[in-house]
Structure 1
Amino acid sequence: MRISIIRGSSAAALAATFAIASPAFAQHAPRDAESEESRNDIIVTGQQAQKQVVSDGNIGVLGNKDALSTPFNITSYTAQLILDQQSETIGDVLENDPSVRTTYGSGNQSELFVIRGFALNGDDVSIDGLYGVTPRQLVSPELYESVQVLNGASAFLFGAAPGGSGIGGGINLVPKRAQKTLIRGTASYSADGILGGNVDIGTRFGPDREFGIRVNGVYRSGDTAVDNEHREVKVAGASFDFRKGPGRFFLDFGYEEQAANYSRPTVRLANNIAVPRTPDANDNYGQPWTFTKLRDIYALARVEIDIAKDWMVYLAAGMRDGSEKGDYSTLTITNAATGAGTGSRLYVPREDNNESGQFGLRGKFAVSGITNEINFGGSATYTENRNAFAFGAFPAAVRTACGASATSFCTNLYNAPIVDRPPNSVTPGLVSGSFTDLPRVSTGAFTSLFASDTIGFLGDRILVTVGARRQNMIVNAYNRTTLARTSRYDESRTTPVVGVIVKPAGTVSLYANRIEGLAQGPTAPLTNVTNPGEVFAPYKSVQYELGGKMAIHGLTGTVALYQTKQPSTFTTTPASGLGTFVVDGEQRNRGVEVTLNGEPADWLRFIGGFSVNDAKITKSLNGVNNGKKAIGVPDYQVNFGTEVVPSFIEALTLTGRVVLTGKQMINIPSAAAAAQELPDWVRFDLGARYVAVIGEHPVTFRMSAENIANRRYWSSAFGGYLLQGSPRTVKASMTFEY
């Protein structure tokens, strides 16, 4: 019955949409009615033909490459897709990618991306090739021309991510810049009452149109489809550029505020607890006092100068000033049948100051029919993190019934009681740092030099890329109370790359690569080990990949087979005495990805594909876990969307998408812990958009429903945290373009 009501409402709203548009067609016909109708058809066709997904993109230090000329698997989701799918976060955009799953990190509402079974933190998403500049935790996509996903390791291409993630892939955001005169306004509605909109204005001017300016603004506020959850977003961005003669100069600014209140928390399971029944799709088992508030200001500058034919030097720099605070809570289930468990409160204020830069020389020359494309340069990223924390001190009245500790309270997954926000704990170790003058906790300096050569044979039908990047990491940690430095990490490593492309035909390329990932090595715990505080060398993961690409009839298809091995840690267990913290473990992810993107006909579009991932532990303490599945990595993933323009209403586009995710391990089973596993799940999305022409200007009406059946399911178990899938979310918007 509930589904029928929603469907009926959607149909009514869509009918109302057409009624609003009808004045354009109800006006008296102009004298040249046939010419007017023809112009309208051209406008509608132009709007529908906008590219949503391309397989070209920025390959880091190698520059922009087309799909068939890069030995890596990259997908770019354009601003048109963001607009058409009414995406509100980067995670929304990546619902189209079969190699990516989005979850939450650290018990709050920050988006964490899992690519090829490995984590990519929000801190390690780059903008225009620079790390440390992107707003952390949550990012609104409306400021960006494209969201580019690189599947696979990228230590040579982009450098080591300062947050220590990105082993399975990376995300790069490309800022919007002025290409033509544009005035676009969008009004939007989503969920249970999120109202807002965005504006996108740009133009080029000057005698030779050498100056460009692009300004974007976003505001949204209201209740989500999860009961009582409230979100608010404020975003503003501006891009300025000057393009004259051999030079191009770019300057980008961004401001972003994100707030989430009374959010549904992630869930953990106590040992040997079965996976509990998923609560109703809209249920909220959080607390009213939980919140996340983020504020980021960032700026980027880039200069490109052509010093000779096919030779360019470039210089880029960026900075970010970030502020974050929140009360976070995670629910731990102790009884799967009843849903009984405990909750907690952790208050964390944080500030970040990051700077990043890069320089390089790129050029191409040919000798005896053999081409060489040379890249040489360097990069540097500096990060500083200041924070404090405090656990909540709950009164006995809300914790004794379940025997919870002083920092926890009794709750229930299916009937969560509301408890008062507790004061901060005063117990040493449960509170640390000043909340009025946040102490410096860590600094990082990441520098590198790189060089590569792409050699082309037989008219560039065979391309071989060889290169290396020498990277240095200096990380300092400080005591929050004494402010004294407690550890220093200064390590260097070289990460090589080899890539090969063979083009047997103009529309087909076969490729292979060997590339490495690099992350800051771990530091041994300060207690209960024989080597307290020992700093280990950087993690180096190794990836091998084989693949093929075909671009034909408006479609780009990609098949990739890959294997990545990543070191891991464990503590030895001697017969007596303390164990030793070592880096002797290993996880191996092996899989296949198949994607199909594009428009094989004017009336048909495909977006997505599927992936299969075999993620296993290959080295563990005494081999006891060897061969066991890694936590939170699905066996298979399917994301496939279709858009159809029906012949009977050519201004209408109907959309549909299926998202399917295989089983996931929640823990690594052992003699003391039974296996905990999430079942597979499937979700369906439906939508429509209609392009009307009013006064020779396109007006696009959109309506969609994600999780149309309002199915309840656990969507992710990555890191051992259960995240419940979003309920049915209805979105509607209207865009006017001048």
Structure 2
Amino acid sequence: MAVTKDKSAQLRYLIPLALASGVIPAGTQASEDTIVVRKQASGTAFGGNDARQANVGLLGNRDALNTPFSISGFTSQYIEDRQAKSLGEVLQNDPSVQVTSPTGGILDSFSIRGFPIGEGNIGEIALNGIYSVAPNYQLLPQYLERVEVLKGPGSGLYGMSPNGGVGGVINAVTKRATAEDITRLSTTWESDDQFGGYMDVGRLGQTQNGDIWGMRFNGGGSGGDMRLDNTSKRSALGALALDYISGGFRTSVDVIDQYQRVNSPNRPFTAAAGISVPSAPNGKTNIAQQGMWWTIKDQGALLRTEYDVNDSLTLFANAGGSRSEVARLSEQTGNIINERGDVTSQLTNFRFNVDRYTLETGARGSFTTGSIEHLMTLQTSYYHDRLAVGSTRGATLSSNIYSPIEVDVDKPGTPDRVPKTSSTQLTGVALADTLTFWDSKVDVIPGVRFQQIGSDNFAANGSRSASYDESAFTPMLGLVYRPWQQVSLYANYIEGLSKGDVAPGTARNAGQVMSPYRSRQYEVGVKYDAGKLLSSLSLFQITRPSGALDSNNNFTDNSEQRNRGVELNLSGEPLDGLRLQGNLALIDAELTKSPRPGVRGNDPVGVAPVRASAGAEYDLPALRGVSVNSQLNYSDKQYIDQANAQRIGSWTTVDMGAAYKTRIYGKNTVFHFDVRNVFDRDYWTGVASYGTFVQGAPRTFLASMSVDF
């Protein structure tokens, strides 16, 4: 039975709701614009690491071969096979994406094509194509159907990123009900003693008058000691996705609830000027004091609706929002003060409250002019966020990265207030048209977005300390040419938008507002999809301006970073039972403009010139149902300062694992066992744009079992 359906709905809150779902009928799967309920695709390339379909924001859901942008995708099968516990672990094998946050840290932050994503206190991860709904700091992946990475600026497609990120867009797509009932129980274990249990339930039903509804629930949690010394973690999640279709009307709801607590959390480091960065300590070593902790509570909801006026015109309206509450008593970023690894850090008791919401509406229509087919989308959107921060500071601690020192210290008390510190409003109007002609071999996609940016900062007494109100147009142009069915050539020009700086109080022009910073990308590439083989090659250039004080103490937009790169991705099954993938990212990054002497022409902070990954998965013919896999990741050196005087070294890690698929008492059962960082390599991994760097994770063992009922 082929059925039709629409979008997302999720609520989750552990076992009680999951058990209640057992009385609800059968499953649905959601796309974004077309909504067809069908069997879930398992993915063909290397355990579900493929990008055959993607949400491209304003352009809706598109086949990757017909998309004029570089996109990588990771399916739920890939997430399960790799036993990923965080978004960073999902994306760590994509060399274009660098994880810049520590294992056990409070957030997932990234660098895409050499530009930061998710480094601030306002989240930049889209959920089902919309900002403001995904958990603000760290997203747990158990309820995701796939994760998509659009590489390059995405303002024209998704609107301005809340933190102004221009390297790319990470979009998390939630699981939907499918045409087959799903009832899956999973148990997990991670060294040292981290145990977890999860439930995945999906049902699809049809009323007597033909209306269709679907439900998908994911819930569970984990707890116990982590591999990092003195560190333990507890987490719980619940996610519910509901869908309803009646004639030409489609609606969906997603509700998400997450909770995480980490004791003795790991923190990133900085290095004092003038010293060489010491060698990394063992990955298990943790300078965090006993009694340090953080907790995060995330709740979010998303409503999507569509209505087909006729076969050629669809109206849509979406609304979503979230709230995140963070409590943290821990050391701030540790500053390594000498090459012996001595480090200082300050105890701080923080409270963060982050509230966000998005409203959008528009129309999507198709028509023909002569021999040209059009698919046009008009969209208006409004995004709002509010950040409140309270803190009390305590003692400064001294320790050593190789031999941590445990001390008794008075802990700073809980902040009396959590005052509003900033709020931002992003208002946009966007128009895009896909023109298809020449026997459907050519797509030309022009588009433009008008973005109004309003932002206010507030002093501790509640008074407005700074205000920002600017606007800009960001155009885009994409081209796809399909000379053969399996091959597409593409090119794009697209702009990214970031809020311009406000000149600091020390500048001669203190308080002056810079116009929005406009990043520009030029990209060409080729994609090949032969069923069992996926490959792509892209060449790109991105320039991003920024501001700095000049020699006359004026603050202006006088700086620029330019990243030129080549990306090669191969994934497929050359022989039955043998799946391979190989990815390479080469980036020639340069600070092309700067008022600082000796900086112009240097490498930017945190950009590795070479990153690569290779993996293999093999079904053992002698052992039915058994497969083995291996993954190798390499990262080149990275500078932690613009003067290029300090850097972390290159590193290589190897992961290995095995899976066994069988039937127990007639139930499909899968066992996984994996070892990450097999050789227990000690290394510094990614560098954030502001110069912090983090320990690589130590050798870690993982195991899981899932049963379909």
SS of the residue corresponding to residue 110 of structure 1 reads: coil
Aligned with residue 418 of structure 2, among 438, 441, 450: 438
For residue 553 of structure 1, report the CA deviation from its aligned partner: 4.1
What residue number does 1:704 align with? 674
User: After superposition, what is the alpha-carbon deviation per residue over 1:98-130, rounded to whole angstroms, capped at 9, x for unaligned?
Assistant: 210111289953110110001110601011111
Does the aligned pair in 2 maintain the 1:53–1:81 contact within 8 Å? no
Further displaced range: 59-68 or 224-233: 224-233
SS of the residue corresponding to residue 504 of structure 2 reads: coil
What residue number does 1:187 align with? 187
What residue number does 2:199 align with? 199
For residue 650 of structure 1, report the CA deviation from its aligned partner: 3.3
> Are 1:735 and 2:709 counterparts?
no
Change (3 A) 1:640 1:358: farther
Distance 1:275 1:302 in 2: 49
> Are 1:415 and 2:403 counterparts?
yes
What residue number does 1:97 align with? 94
Distance 1:424 1:691 in 2: 51
User: After superposition, what is the alpha-carbon deviation per residue over 1:304-340, rounded to whole angstroms, capped at 9, x for unaligned?
Assistant: 122222432211110101101112422212220x222
> Are 1:279 and 2:281 counterparts?
yes
Gaps of 5+ in 2: 1-40
Aligned ranges 1:489-528 → 2 under 5 Å: 489-526=468-505, 528=506
What residue number does 1:137 align with? 137
SS of the residue corresponding to residue 91 of structure 2 reads: helix
For residue 453 of structure 1, report the CA deviation from its aligned partner: 1.1
Change (3 A) 1:331 1:256: same
Does the aligned pair in 1 maintain the 2:102–2:266 contact within 8 Å? no
Distance 1:311 1:383 in 2: 32
Aligned ranges 1:472-551 → 2 under 5 Å: 472-480=452-460, 482-526=461-505, 528-551=506-529
SS of the residue corresponding to residue 88 of structure 2 reads: helix
What residue number does 2:15 align with? none
Aligned with residue 604 of structure 2, among 618, 630, 645: 630
For residue 52 of structure 1, report the CA deviation from its aligned partner: 4.2
In the TM superposition, structure 1's runs of 4+ consecutive aligned residues that sit over 6 Å from their partners are: 45-50
Bigger share in helix? 1
What residue number does 2:436 align with? 456
Aligned ranges 1:614-625 → 2 under 5 Å: 614-621=588-595, 624-625=598-599
Change (3 A) 1:323 1:709: same
SS of the residue corresponding to residue 109 of structure 2 reads: strand
User: After superposition, what is the alpha-carbon deviation per residue over 1:35-69, rounded to whole angstroms, capped at 9, x for unaligned?
Assistant: xxxxxxxxxx9899974423320000100110111
What residue number does 1:725 align with? 696
Does the aligned pair in 1 maintain the 2:144–2:172 contact within 8 Å? yes
Distance 2:48 2:541 in 1: 31
Does the aligned pair in 2 maintain the 1:105–1:112 contact within 8 Å? no
SS of the residue corresponding to residue 68 of structure 1 reads: helix
SS of the residue corresponding to residue 187 of structure 2 reads: strand
For residue 244 of structure 1, report the CA deviation from its aligned partner: 2.6
User: After superposition, what is the alpha-carbon deviation per residue over 1:571-592, rounded to whole angstroms, capped at 9, x for unaligned?
Assistant: 1223xxxx11221100001101
User: After superposition, what is the alpha-carbon deviation per residue over 1:397-433, rounded to whole angstroms, capped at 9, x for unaligned?
Assistant: xxxxxxxxxxx222211112112343449xxxxxxxx
> Are 1:178 and 2:177 counterparts?
yes
For residue 264 of structure 1, report the CA deviation from its aligned partner: 2.5
Change (3 A) 1:521 1:713: same
Amino acid at match of 1:127: L
What residue number does 1:299 align with? 301
Does the aligned pair in 2 maintain the 1:474–1:489 contact within 8 Å? yes
Does the aligned pair in 2 maintain the 1:469–1:494 contact within 8 Å? yes
> Are 1:163 and 2:163 counterparts?
yes
SS of the residue corresponding to residue 81 of structure 1 reads: helix
Further displaced range: 689-698 or 506-515: 689-698
What residue number does 2:577 align with? 603
SS of the residue corresponding to residue 101 of structure 2 reads: strand
| Percent of paired sites with the same residue | 31
Does the aligned pair in 2 maintain the 1:108–1:328 contact within 8 Å? no
Does the aligned pair in 1 maintain the 2:43–2:75 contact within 8 Å? no
Gaps of 5+ in 1: 1-44, 395-407, 426-433
What residue number does 1:219 align with? 221
Amino acid at match of 1:721: T
For residue 606 of structure 1, report the CA deviation from its aligned partner: 2.7
> Are 1:331 and 2:319 counterparts?
no
Amino acid at match of 1:331: G
Distance 1:422 1:632 in 2: 36
Distance 2:417 2:185 in 1: 41
Change (3 A) 1:585 1:591: same
Distance 2:191 2:496 in 1: 39
What residue number does 1:20 align with? none
For residue 696 of structure 1, report the CA deviation from its aligned partner: 3.1
TM-score normalised according to structure 1 size: 0.87
Amino acid at match of 1:80: Q
Aligned ranges 1:627-666 → 2 under 5 Å: 627-666=601-640
Change (3 A) 1:622 1:291: closer
Does the aligned pair in 2 maintain the 1:108–1:292 contact within 8 Å? no
For residue 666 of structure 1, report the CA deviation from its aligned partner: 1.4
Does the aligned pair in 2 maintain the 1:318–1:355 contact within 8 Å? yes
Change (3 A) 1:276 1:423: same
Does the aligned pair in 2 maintain the 1:496–1:516 contact within 8 Å? yes
Aligned with residue 692 of structure 1, among 659, 662, 665: 662
For residue 607 of structure 1, report the CA deviation from its aligned partner: 3.7
For residue 163 of structure 1, report the CA deviation from its aligned partner: 1.9
Does the aligned pair in 2 maintain the 1:379–1:449 contact within 8 Å? yes
SS of the residue corresponding to residue 92 of structure 2 reads: helix
Distance 2:684 2:97 in 1: 16
Distance 1:598 1:316 in 2: 37
Distance 1:115 1:48 in 2: 25
Does the aligned pair in 1 maintain the 2:118–2:125 contact within 8 Å? yes
For residue 143 of structure 1, report the CA deviation from its aligned partner: 1.3
Aligned ranges 1:347-362 → 2 under 5 Å: 347-362=349-364
Amino acid at match of 1:704: D
Change (3 A) 1:543 1:343: same
Paired residues in the alignment total 661
Distance 1:386 1:132 in 2: 16
Does the aligned pair in 2 maintain the 1:178–1:203 contact within 8 Å? yes
Aligned with residue 562 of structure 1, among 530, 533, 540: 540
Does the aligned pair in 1 maintain the 2:118–2:124 contact within 8 Å? yes
User: After superposition, what is the alpha-carbon deviation per residue over 1:187-216, rounded to whole angstroms, capped at 9, x for unaligned?
Assistant: 000020000121100101133471111111
Amino acid at match of 2:279: R
For residue 387 of structure 1, report the CA deviation from its aligned partner: 1.1
What residue number does 2:154 align with? 154
User: After superposition, what is the alpha-carbon deviation per residue over 1:79-111, rounded to whole angstroms, capped at 9, x for unaligned?
Assistant: 111111111000010022121011128995311
Does the aligned pair in 1 maintain the 2:103–2:697 contact within 8 Å? no
What residue number does 1:40 align with? none
SS of the residue corresponding to residue 571 of structure 2 reads: strand
Distance 1:155 1:61 in 2: 10
For residue 303 of structure 1, report the CA deviation from its aligned partner: 0.6
Q: Give the number of the structure whose alpha-carbon radius of gyration is greater.
A: 1
What residue number does 1:118 align with? 115
For residue 391 of structure 1, report the CA deviation from its aligned partner: 2.0
Distance 2:472 2:43 in 1: 49
TM-score normalised according to structure 2 size: 0.90
Amino acid at match of 1:712: D
User: After superposition, what is the alpha-carbon deviation per residue over 1:715-735, rounded to whole angstroms, capped at 9, x for unaligned?
Assistant: 122231121100011100000
For residue 649 of structure 1, report the CA deviation from its aligned partner: 1.9
For residue 622 of structure 1, report the CA deviation from its aligned partner: 5.8
Does the aligned pair in 1 maintain the 2:265–2:330 contact within 8 Å? no
Aligned with residue 715 of structure 1, among 668, 676, 685: 685
For residue 668 of structure 1, report the CA deviation from its aligned partner: 2.2
Amino acid at match of 1:55: R
